[in-house]
């Protein structure tokens, strides 16, 4: 995953899923990297990752989405 970078970090699986779907629909393939502890769900983060080449465009899509809410 050396060419992948995090563009969104959350502790909520639902929020990560929404952002991943948003990016996929915008043409930026995204994956979810869940780093939450499997025993204690309160520890760790969930990152939405995209290709380094799409980093800036993906961040703009996410910003635009949250700015209109």
Sign (positive/negative) of CA torsion 16, 20, 26, 28? positive
Looking at the DSSP bridge assignments, the partners of residue 43 are: none
Of the listed ranges 9-13, 39-43, 52-56, 60-64, the one predicted with least confidence? 39-43
Position 27 scores a pLDDT of: 97
The burial class, CB within 10 Å (0-12 / 13-18 / 19+), for 9 is middle
Token pair belonging to 2: 């050396």
* Model confidence pTM above 0.85: yes
For residue 26, what are the domain limits?
4-68
Position 42 scores a pLDDT of: 72
Token pair belonging to 55: 């980093």
Could you read off the pLDDT of 26-46 as tens digits, one per residue?
999 999 999 887 777 678 899
CB 16 within 8 A of CB 44: no
Looking at residues 13-18, what average pLDDT do you find? 95
CATH number at residue 18: 3.30.70
Structural domains of the chain, count? 1
Helix (H, G, I), strand (E, B) or coil at 48: strand
Looking at the DSSP bridge assignments, the partners of residue 3 are: none
Position 1 scores a pLDDT of: 66
């Amino acid at each position: 995953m050396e060419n992948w970078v995090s563009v969104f970090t959350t502790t909520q699986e639902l929020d990560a899923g929404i952002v991943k779907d948003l990016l996929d629909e915008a043409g930026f393939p995204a994956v979810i990297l869940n780093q939450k502890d499997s025993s204690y769900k309160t520890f760790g983060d969930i990152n939405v990752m995209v290709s380094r080449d799409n980093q800036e465009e993906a961040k703009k899509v996410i910003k635009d989405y949250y700015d209109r809410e």
